[in-house]
Structure 1
Amino acid sequence: MRDKPWAAWLLLVYYAIAGWPGDYPPIATGLDDSWIYAINALFHAGPVFGSEVAFTYGPLGFLLHPRAVEGNLARGLAFWIAMHLTTVALLASSILRKRVWQACGMAALVILAQTLEVWPEYWAAMNAGLWAMASLLMPLPAWPWAVATGLLAGLLTAGKLTSGVASLSIVAAAFLVLPAPLNRKRRMAALTAGALAAVWLPVYFSHFNGAGSFFRWLKWSSEISSGYAAAMSIVFQPETLWNALAVAFSYAVFLAAGGSRMRRIALAFLPLLFVAFRHGYVRQGIHSTSFYGTACAVPALLFLFTENRRDRLAVLGLAGACAAVMLYHCNRPNSGLHRSLAATRDHLSLSKGLRRLGQTLNLAEHSAELAAMGRAAASGGGPPGRWPEIIRADFGRVASLPWEITGLAGSGLSWQLLPSLQLYSAYTQELDRATARVFASEDRPKWIWLMNAGFDRRSLFTDNPETWLAILDHYTVAATHSPASQMLLRAKPGGAATKTGPVARRSAVEAGMWVDADTSGALWRVEVGLQPTAWGRLARYVYQWPPVFIEVDRARGDPLKIRILPDTASAGLLMPLLPLSIEEFSAAFANRMDNPVKRFRILLPQGGYFDNSIQLRWKQTTRDFTPAP
C-alpha cells in the first residue's frame, strides 16, 4: 500500500462518498415522529428550555434528527457534513504522513461497520474521541483536532445530554490515560475546553432564561434518563444478553493481550460502550443494534493508532469477533433485525452515498419537497372532526396527551409545552409534579386533546397520579370521539385542588397477593413501596428493571394486567378509579366512578430485582365520587 499511494487516495474517496450523510425523512405524526418534530421546532422557540420544557435532547437536538423545519435540514446537514469531512481530513493527513496502512485500515473497517449499521449519535461521539486522541498522539500540528473536539463535544452536549456526556467521557478518558507529554495534554485540553465554551455561550444566552433554567433542564433531563431503565424496559429474548457478554469478552481479551498503548486507547472508549449497551438493552429489539454497531465501529478507530503488525492483527481480531456476534444477533430466527442484501449493496456500491450527495447539491429543491410532504402528513393527523374549529372559536394553548405534537401543529393550533415534552416520558415523581403544576396553574392551557392510547402495556391514567388529579380538578369534557377513543377537555375557571390526607393505614403484602379496594366512592392514593434488592439497585444503573405490573379485577370484565412505573407508583396509585375507555373517562370528569377496581395485586418480575414483600400506604383524598351502581 505504501508503494501505491494512489490506491490509498482512491479508498479515501470511496470512504468520503460511502459515508456521506443524508436521506432524512419528512416530518410525520406518531410518538417518535412527534418528539423529532418538537426538537426541530423548539430551536426556534426562544429561551424555553428548563423554564417550560426539558428532554434528553437539548436546544440543538435537531442536529441529530434534522427535518425540513425552518431551515433545520440545511443546518443539520451542514453539521454532519462538517464532521464527516473533518474525519476525512484526518485520514488524508495520516496518508500524507506515511501512515497509509493505518488510514486505509480505519477507512475500510468503518465502511464495513456502517454496512452493519452504526447509530449516528454514537458515531458522532466516537468522532469526538477520535479527534481528541489525534490531538494527543498524531504528529504536530495538533491544535486543529483539539479545537474540532471541543466544538463537536459542545454541539453534542447541547444536542442530546446522554450523547454529549458520552463524548465528554471519551475525551476526558483520552486526556487522562493516553501516553502523551503532560504539556501537550494541558495545551490540547485548554483548546478543547475553549472550543466547547465557544459553543455553549451562545446556546446558553439564546435558549435558557438564566442559570436556574439551565440547571432545571439538567435536572429534568437527568430525571428522564434515570427513569428510562424502569419505564421503557422490554425483554424480548433475555438469552440475547449472552451475545452482549460475548462482545464484552472479546474486548476483555483485547485489553489483556494488547500492548500498553492500544490498551489505553481502547479503555477510553469503554464509557461509550457502556452507554450504548444500556441504551440497547433497556428497549432491546432494534435498539440493541446501537450497542453492537458501536462495538463494531470502535475497532475501526483503534486501527488508526496501531504501530506494528501485532497491534493491527489484534484490532482486526476484535473487529471480526464483534462483527460475527452482531451478525449472529441480527440473523437469529424471529429477531426482526435482518439487514437486507439490498441495503448492503446500496451502501457498498456507493448508490446510497451518491444519492445523498445529489440531495446535498440540490438541497433547496429537496428540502422544499420534504417540507411539502411533512405538511401533508401533519395536516391529516390533528384533532378529529370539527374540534380544530371549536378550539379556534375560543382560542388558547392546547396540550396534547399523551404524545401527539406534529398533528397539533399541522392543524395550526397553539401547542402547550410540557416539562417532559410528552406525558408518556414523565417517568418520575419530580416530572409528574412539574407536569401537574402546568395544569393547575392560573396560566394553564385552555384545551387538552386527549388520545386514550397505551404504550408498552402502560395505562394513560396509572402513570402520573399528580397530573391526573390536577386535570380532574381544573378541566371538564367539551367533546368526545368514541371511534377514535379521544376527548377534548376545556379548562374551567377556579376549581378546588384535591388534597391528600395523612397515611390512614399501612399494610405489608406479598407480591401476587390480592388486596381489596374501597369502592364506597372515596378516592385513595395507594403508595406502592417496592424495595429493590442489591442486584436490583445495581441493575437499574447498569442494565434495566424488567416491567412491574398491577393486575386489577374491576366491577365488570375480566382481570387485566397493566404496567406501572415504580417511581410514580410510590407516590400513590389512584384507587379504585381506573378509567380505560372514553366512556369511563367521561364518567370520571362527571364525578362518577364507572367500573371501579374491586381488588388488585402487584406482580414483580422474576430475577430477584425486588423484595417479595411490598409496603402499601393508604392516603384518602378530599375527592369523592358517586359510587358505581
Structure 2
Amino acid sequence: MRTSKETRLPIVFFDGGKWLGITCVFLLLLVLLCVFVPFSPVMPSVGLDPSWVLGMNQAVSQGLRIGTDVIFTFGPYASIYTRAYHPATDVMMLAGSVLLSISCWLSIIFLVKGRPGLLLSLCVALLFAAYSRDALLLFVPFLAALVSYKIINNRAVGFPLLPRTLFVFVVAFAALGLIPVIKGSVLILSVAMVLACLGIFIFCREGRLALLSVVTPVVSIIVFWVASGQTISDLPSYFINMVPIASGYTEAMAIPGESYEVIVYIVAALLVVFASFFDRKKVSFSIIDLFLPGVFFLFLFVSFKAGFVRHDAHAVAAAIAILLGGISLLAFYKGKLTAVALIFSLFTAGLVFNRHVGLSLPTVSNLLNVTLVSAAVGIERRISDKTWPKADFENHIAYYKSVTDLPLLKGRSDIYSFNQAPLIFSGNTWAPRPIFQGYSAYTRSLAEKNIQHLLGEDAPDNIFFRVEPIDGRLPSMDDGASWPTLLTGYHPVRRLPGYLQLERNGADKYAVISARGEPVAHQLDEVIVIPLTNKVLVAKIDVKPTVLGRLANILFKPAELRIAIVLNSGEERTYRVVSGMLKSGVVISPLVEDTFDFSLLYGDADFSTGKRVKSIKVYQAHSSDFSWQSKYSLQFDELEVARKIDPVKFFGFDPVDNDAGKLSLVNAQKCDGSIDMINGVNPLPEIQLHRLMSVSGWLASSVSEGVPSEAVYIMLSDKTGKNTFVKAKVKSRIDVANAFKQPNLEYAGYSVEFDTEALQGVYSLRLAMKRNGRVEVCPEYLISATINDQVN
C-alpha cells in the first residue's frame, strides 16, 4: 500500500516546535471552543423552534424519559446543539461541548501534523461552521474515521501505536458516542463510521483498535446518558423510537429549493470522493484504499440530506460540509485532482452560503461577534457574575409569563400543536404527549403513541388547543389522528385568545359515536365525491410509495403529495399532505382551517355547513414523478358528538347593533382599511354563508393622522334595503401600526363573529364605520353574500 509523504512522517503535534505551528494549534483550539461551547447561551423565547428548544431542556429538568415520555429528533444533550440555557442542563451543555472541542482539536492536529496553512484554513472553515450545528455534529464522526485511516496507514509502514496516538483515538470515539444523545438522527452516520472503522481494523488485524472502536462509543453513550439523569433501561427505547422519527422526516419535512444548488453540491461531492480515491500514485481497489473514499462519501451524503431535504437555511449545513470535506483532502493528498476538488468545493460552499446567509463584511463581522466576541463576553460574565446566566434566564421566564394569555390551572396541562413555550412560561404543570411537536407525528406508529397517551392514566387534565399547520399542510393533519380522541375524551370550557381550553371528561362524557366504513380503492388524480352527512367525517388514506419512491426517500426526497378540496359552496383549497399522517386518519369534512373551525366540531352541524366538503383529489405535485403508486385506499369513518355545546352562548357571538341603524347613514368618500378574511379565506366578490359569518381586517378613520375608527360595522343589506349592523370587536394590528408608522393604529384591527340564523337570501356585505355621530359606508367594499343557501 502506497502512502503520501505526509503519512510517512512521524506522529508529532507541532512542526519542530516552530512558533507559527504552535500559534496555529492554539488558534484552532480557541476557534473550536468559541464555536462549540455556548459561553453566551441562547435564552428562551416563543415560536416553533424556540418551543422545542425549551421543551427539550424542560423535559430533562422535569425528569421525563427522553425517547419514551418525550420523543423527538433530539436527546437529553440537545442544548449542545441548540446552545440554549436552562439551569438543569447548563453543566451538561458546557461539559459536552468542551469534549467535542477537545476531540476535534486533537483529531485535526493528529491529521495535519504541523502544517500551519492547513490549520489556518480549517480555522476559517470552522468559524463559518458556527452557522450550522448540524455540520459541526456530522464533522465529529467524520474526523474519528479519518483518524482511524491515518493510524492504519502509519501502522502499515511500521510505526508503533504510541500512547498519545491511542489517547487521540479514544477521545475521538468517545465524542462520537456523545453526538447521538445530542441529536438522535446523527446516529446513522455514527454507526456507519463505527462499522467502517471496525471493518478496516479487523481486516488489518488490529484487534485492540477494533475492540476500542466499538466499546469506546458504547461506553460513552451509556455514561453520558446516565449522567443526564436518564436510566439505562430507557436507552434502547430512545434509539428504537428514533427510527420512525428519522425515517419519516424526509417526506414529511421536505421543502423545495433552488435545484442548481443541489446539482453543484453533487458535482463537488463527487469530485472530493474521486480525488480521495484516484489522487494517489497507485490506484487499487483494496479494502484499505476504498475506506477513505467511503468515509468521504458517507459524510458528504448525510450532509447532503441534512442540507437539501428541507431546502431553506438548512442548506448551510451542506455548504459547511463540502468546505470541510474539501479542505480535509489536503491532509492526505496534494495532487491536481485534489486541487480541482478543493477549488470546486470552495466555489460550492460560497455559492450556497452566499444565498442563504450572505458573504459580505457585515456577515464576517457578525460571524466574529457570535463566536469570538460572544465567547469572550460569556466567559467574563460567568466569572464576574455568579448569578449569570441563571438570573437572565429567570428574567426571560418572568417576562414571557407576564405576557402569556394562558391561565394557571389545576392538574397537568398540554398544548397543541407545536408552540410549547407559552404553556411552560405560564407556570402550569407541563405534561406533554410523547411526540410533543404535532408536525412530527408523521408516521402511524408515532401518531398512535400520542393517541395512547390521551387514553392512558398520564393523560393531561387540561389542553390548550390551537390549529397550527406548517409548510402549507392540510390543517387537520398535524396531530390529526388524535382529534377523534380529543373529541371523545375532552370538552371545551373556555375560549382564550388564540386557543380553545379543553378539559378532560369525567363521568359525564361528551361521547362520540363512531361508524366505520370500509376501505375502497381509488386512483391518484381521481375526484372523489364525499358522502353526504352532518357528522364529522374522518378519512384514512393509504398512499404507498413505489420502489422508485422508496429509493428517492433514501437518496434525496420523493415527490410531494397534495390534496385538492372542493367545498359545497364551490370554493377550492389545495394543501400539502404526508402519507403517514393520511394513513393515521384526518378530519376531512367539515374542513377545519383554524381553531375556531375546530371549536365548531363540538357544536351543532349547522354552524359547519359552510365548511362541508363536496369532493377531494389526492395527487402528486409533479405528475411526471413516479414516487407514489397510482392506486390507494380510502376509508371514511363518521363521528358524532352526542352532547353538544351551544356556540352562540359559548363563543359569545356578536349581536345585531340596533343603535347603529338609528344613526344617520352616509357614503364615505374613501376608506383606509381592508376586509382581510371572511370565514377564514380571502373575500371574493360573491360568497356563501351558512349560519356563521366571521370577518376580520382593519379600518382607520385617518391613516395619515393615525386615528382608528370610533366603531367598525359589518353592514348587511337585503334586496328591500333593510340594513343589519354588526358591531366589530377591536383587535390589535401591530403590523398596520408599523406599516404606516402610526403607533395608535395598533388598535385599528377588527373582527366579527355573527350567527346568521335569522337571515336568508342575498345580501350586500359592506364595511362601515362610525364617525362624527353618523355611520359612513365604505365604497371600496361590496360583496354579494348568499346566506343560508336561500336565494330570493
* Mapped pair 1:318 → 2:341: yes
1:112 matched residue in structure 2: 124
Q: Is the 8 A contact 1:65 1:76 kept in 2?
A: no
State the AA in 2 paired with 1:623.
Answer: E
Query: Which digits, 9 at most, give the CA deviation of each residue in 1:207-257, with x for residues without a partner?
Result: 55664x444332322111111111111113234321222223322431452
In the alignment, what sits opposite 1:186? 207
> Is residue 103–residue 172 contact of structure 2 (8 Å, CA) maintained in 1?
no
**Contact 1:47–1:207 (CA under 8 A) maintained in structure 2:** no
Distance 1:420 1:351 in 2: 32
Moved more, 57-66 or 498-507: 498-507
Amino acid at match of 1:343: T
Partner of residue 363, structure 1 = 382
Which residue pairs with 1:236 in the alignment? 257
Which shows bigger deviation, 62-71 or 612-621? 612-621
Distance 1:426 1:92, change over 3 A: closer
Shift in CA distance, 564/355, structure 1 to aligned 2, threshold 3 Å: closer
Aligned residues of 2:129 and 2:135 also touching (Cα < 8 A): no
Per-residue CA distance 1:357-383 (angstroms, 9 max, x = gap): 442343256785544444444445569
Q: Deviations over 1:390-410 (max 9, x none)?
A: x2xxx1111111112222121
Residue 114 of structure 2 aligns with an amino acid whose one-letter code is: V
**With CA pairs under 8 Å and 6+ residues apart, which has the higher RCO, 1 or 2?**
1
Would the aligned equivalents of 2:222 and 2:232 in 1 still touch at CA under 8 Å? no
Deviations 1:175-217 (A, max 9, x none): 4347x9834x321232343333333334555755664x44433
Query: Is 1:298–2:325 an aligned residue pair?
Result: yes
Residue range with higher mean Cα deviation, 502-511 or 564-573 = 502-511
Distance 2:69 2:320 in 1: 35
Residue 587 of structure 1 and its aligned partner are, at CA, apart by 1.4
Confirm or deny: 8 A CA contact 1:26 1:67 kept in the other structure.
Answer: yes
- Match for 1:471: what amino acid? L
Q: Structure 1 counterpart of 2:58, which letter?
A: A
1:127 to 1:462, Cα distance in 2 relative to 1, 3 A = closer
2:371 and 2:67 map into 1 onto residues whose CA distance is 39
Assess if the C-alpha contact under 8 Å between 1:530 and 1:610 holds in 2. Answer: no
Q: Which residue of 2 aligns with 1:80?
A: 97
Aligned to 2:126, the other structure's residue is in SS state helix
Answer with 609-618 or 319-328: which moved more. 609-618
CA distance, structure 2, for counterparts of residue 143 and residue 499 of structure 1: 66
2:267 aligns with 246
Check whether the contact 1:552–1:601 (CA below 8 A) recurs between aligned residues. Answer: yes
**Is 2:467–2:476's contact at 8 Å kept on the other side of the alignment?**
no
Cα distance between partner residues in 1 of 2:545 and 2:216: 43
Residue 39 of structure 2 is aligned to residue 12 of structure 1: no
CA distance in structure 1 between the aligned counterparts of 2:121 and 2:641, rounded to whole angstroms: 65
Give unpaired runs (5+ residues) of structure 1.
none
Structure 1 residues 329 and 158, CA gap change in structure 2 (3 angstroms): closer
Aligned to 2:143: 130
Structure 1 position 474, deviation (Å): 0.9
Amino acid at match of 1:17: L
Higher strand residue share:
2
Q: Does the alignment pair 1:143 with 2:166?
A: yes
- For residue 114 of structure 2, what is the aligned residue in structure 1? 100
Compared CA separation, residues 124 and 399, structure 1 to 2 (3 A) = same
- Structure 2 partner of 1:337: 357
Cα RMSD after superposing both structures: 3.2
Are positions 1:509 and 2:513 aligned together?
A: no
Amino acid at match of 1:337: V
More displaced, 125-134 or 155-164?
A: 125-134
Q: What runs of 5+ residues in structure 2 fail to find an aligned partner?
A: 1-13, 645-689, 692-787
Equivalent residue number for residue 52 of structure 1 = 69
Shift, 1:538, TM fit:
0.8
Question: Is residue 398 from structure 1 mapped to residue 398 from structure 2 by the alignment?
Answer: no
TM-score calculated relative to the size of structure 1? 0.86
| Cα distance in 2 for residues equivalent to 1:190 and 1:38 | 37
| Cα displacement string for residues 77-122 of structure 1 (whole angstroms, at most 9, x for unaligned residues) | 3322333234434555678xxx423xx3441231232354363343
Aligned-partner Cα distance in 1 for 2:584–2:141: 41
Residue 226 of structure 1 pairs with residue 250 of structure 2: no
Change (3 A) 1:327 1:477: same
**CA–CA separation in structure 2 for the residues paired with 1:8 and 1:425:** 48
Higher helix share: 1
Asked whether the 8 Å contact 1:18–1:353 carries over to 2, the reply is: yes
Equivalent residue for 1:271, pick from 298, 304, 318:
298
Alpha-carbon shift at residue 152 of structure 1 (Å): 0.9
Aligned to 1:353: 372
In 2, the alpha carbon distance for the partners of 1:117 and 1:243 equals 20
Matching residue of 1:288: 315
* 2:49 counterpart residue number: 32
CA distance in structure 2 between the partners assigned to 1:432 and 1:351 by the alignment: 39
SS in 1 for 2:574: strand
Pair 93,279 (structure 1): closer, same or farther in 2 beyond 3 Å: closer
> In 2, distance between residues paired with 1:171 and 1:351?
33
Out of 526-535 and 129-138, give the one that drifted further: 129-138
What whole-Å deviation, never above 9, does each CA across 1:571-592 have from its counterpart, x for those lacking one? 3333323222333222102353
SS at match of 2:63: coil
Q: Which amino acid aligns with 2:358?
A: H
Q: Distance in 1 between matches of 2:203 and 2:474?
A: 57
Residues 15 and 111 of structure 1 are in contact (CA less than 8 Å); yes or no, is this contact kept in structure 2? yes
Q: Which residue of 2 aligns with 1:435?
A: 450
CA distance in 1, matches of 2:399, 2:564: 37
Counterparts in 2 of 1:59 and 1:81: CA distance versus 1, 3 Å? closer
Secondary structure at the aligned position of 1:267 is classed as helix
2: CA distance between counterparts of 1:480 and 1:59?
35
Larger CA deviation: 402-411 vs 240-249? 240-249
Q: Residues 478 and 543 from structure 1, CA distance in 2 versus in 1: closer, same or farther, beyond 3 angstroms?
A: same
Comparing 18-27 with 316-325, greater Cα deviation is found at 18-27
Q: CA deviation at 1:467?
A: 0.5
| Residue of structure 1 in register with 2:178 after alignment | 155
Give the 3 Å change call, closer, same or farther, for CA 465–509 of structure 1 in structure 2: same
Q: Secondary structure at the residue paired with 1:560?
A: strand
- What's the % identity of the aligned pairs? 17
Asked whether 1:585 is paired with 2:598, we answer: yes
Code of the aligned partner of 1:536: G
Paired with 1:385 and 1:133, the residues of 2 have a C-alpha distance of: 50
Residue aligned with 2:314, SS: helix
Cα distance in 1 for residues equivalent to 2:384 and 2:420: 26
Q: Distance in 2 between matches of 1:499 and 1:254?
A: 65
**Separation in structure 1 between the aligned mates of residue 128 and residue 232 of structure 2, nearest angstrom:** 43
The CA deviation at 1:283 is 0.7
Say which of 408, 427, 432 aligns to 2:423.
408
The 1:364–1:587 alpha-carbon spacing in structure 2 relative to 1, beyond 3 Å, is farther
One-letter code of the match for 1:182?
C
- Give 1:453 shift: 2.1
Distance 2:549 2:107 in 1: 44
Deviation of 1:446 after TM superposition, in Å, equals 0.9
Residue 486 of structure 1 corresponds to which residue in structure 2?
Answer: 499
1:462 aligns with 2:477: yes
Q: Distance in 2 between matches of 1:267 and 1:167?
A: 14
Distance in 2 of aligned mates of 1:603 and 1:383: 46
1:453 maps to which of 459, 468, 471: 468
Asked if structure 2 preserves the Cα contact closer than 8 Å seen for 1:480 and 1:582, the reply is no
1:284 Cα offset (Å): 0.5
After superposition, the C-alpha distances for 1:557-607 in whole angstroms (9 at most, x for unaligned) are 731112221112123333323222333222102353612212221231214
Once residues 19 and 110 of structure 1 are traced to their aligned partners in structure 2, the CA distance between those partners, rounded to angstroms, is 10
Relative distance call for 1:365 and 1:585 in structure 2 (3 A) is farther
